[in-house]
Amino acid sequence: MSGGSVAAGPGKECAPAAPPTRVCPTVSGRAHRELLHHSDGTPVDVMPLLRAEHADICAVVGSSAGVWNVPDPLGDDFVLMPHADPSRPLPAAFLKRGREVTLHEAGDGGWRVETFDHGALQSRGPERLIVELGRKALEAQWAVEGRTLSVQVGPRRVDLPLSRNDDPAALAQRVVAEIARSAR
């Protein structure tokens, strides 16, 4: 694709807009533009990983971590975005950390986006859990989906972020105990 583009809703055909802009399908409710402009009017290419002239850039790694918010495990927040058609491609699962986003050209002129989350845990549950607190036993259920632990105690549900270093069963027990303490 040359020039910029502004996305239309899904199922809509790419249609030329004001040159050099093309309108292409994307996720509903999202606007996609390959070319932005600084306040002085100079263009800024925001899609170099789709352009053949940048095929020597095999990928870009992004991270939200800083000195004060290092994730556990280290690198779990990485987002790796390979070039759509690099001259020297990275092997699959190159970092084995964080998320890997790949783009594939769709037949309709748009792009198909695939995301693989290396930090996601295997789905598990729902599993029954009984926590004894003094003379009382509290029944709960917990489940893991992706990077989220869901704990259900009666009508109350708590969703927590989860990393590979966490023990979901032990964390679920602590959550149930805390819910029981807060209900007193």
Residues in Cβ contact with 49 at an 8 Å cutoff, skipping those fewer than 6 apart: 57, 59, 60, 81, 82, 83, 84, 103
- Identify the band that residue 37 occupies on the pLDDT scale cut at 50, 70 and 90: confident
pLDDT classification of 16: cutoffs 50, 70, 90: very low
Which helix (H) or strand (E) segment holds residue 148: the answer is strand 148-153
Cα 159–chain centre separation = 17
Question: For residue 128, what pLDDT is reported?
Answer: 93
- Cite the DSSP H helix spans in the chain: 168-183
Please report where in the chains the tokens 């990983």 appear, as a residue.
49
Beta-sheet pairing, 4-8 with 21-25: parallel
What are the pLDDT digits (tens) for 128-159?
998 887 788 888 999 999 889 999 998 889 99
- Strand 15-16 relative to strand 35-37, pairing: unpaired
Let me know how long the chain is.
Answer: 184
Residue 181 DSSP symbol:
H
- Which residue in 66, 62, 67, 65 sits closest to 82, CA to CA? 62
Give me the half-sphere count of Cα atoms (radius 13 Å) on the Cβ side of residue 174: 8
Backbone angles phi, psi at 83, to 5 degrees: -60, 145
pLDDT score, position 21: 37
Average pLDDT over residues 6-34: 42
